[in-house]
Amino acid sequence: MTQYVYMLFCRTYMAILHWAVGVQLGGSQRPPIVAKDELIVPLNQGRIMCAASTLSLVAGARCYQLGHRMLSASPIITCFASINYWRKPVYGSRRNMDMCCVLSSWALHSIISFRTEHGEGKKYLWLTPIAFGLYGTSWLLYKKSWVQTSSLVHALVHVAVYTMNVALYKRIT
């Protein structure tokens, strides 16, 4: 049942967002179609994402401090993969590695959220659509050539996820 509610929420949110963004949202900062070895975003916006990615180190340190030694490796590895990608954001193996680390970490944290006292970690799963919604917003803004705004919204994805992770670490039994 929860899967269907989540899927309905995501589809509805994306439909509303697509309607709100419209076809001619504007912005001529950079066309979204790039060559394979060309930067996806300008380096200054890649640096913003590098800075947002370092928040994962804080989450990993907090997790380690709370005694979850093995779990703390997940945000730390994700941090290094993200920094490696965002220092020169081009399509390729570094991007694929970053996405793989992020999705693996999300899956691990979702599974761990069930091992919390009194089901407190299930709130983590309810906050997940917020992170996915922000990511979808970032992607749509990028496709509409609002690259700078897209980068800032994507940085909010990082902030939201790391906040969710730190809140989850306190509740793991």
Confirm whether 72 is domain-assigned.
Answer: yes
Strand partners, 116: 172
Confirm whether 12 is domain-assigned.
Answer: no
Number of domains in the chain: 1
Burial of 78 (0-12, 13-18, 19+ CB in 10 A): buried
pLDDT tens digits, residue range 48-86?
888 888 889 989 999 999 998 889 999 999 999 999 999
pLDDT at 28 over 50: no
Range of the domain at 46: 38-169
User: For the residues 112-139, what does the mean pLDDT come to?
Assistant: 83
pLDDT at 171 over 50: yes
With a threshold of 0.85, does the pTM exceed it? Answer: no
d(CA 137, CA 13): 10
Confirm whether 26 is domain-assigned.
Answer: no
Confirm whether 55 is domain-assigned.
Answer: yes
pLDDT tens digits, residue range 94-111?
999 999 999 999 889 888
pLDDT at 155 over 80: yes
Confirm whether 11 is domain-assigned.
Answer: no
Confirm whether 9 is domain-assigned.
Answer: no
Confirm whether 21 is domain-assigned.
Answer: no
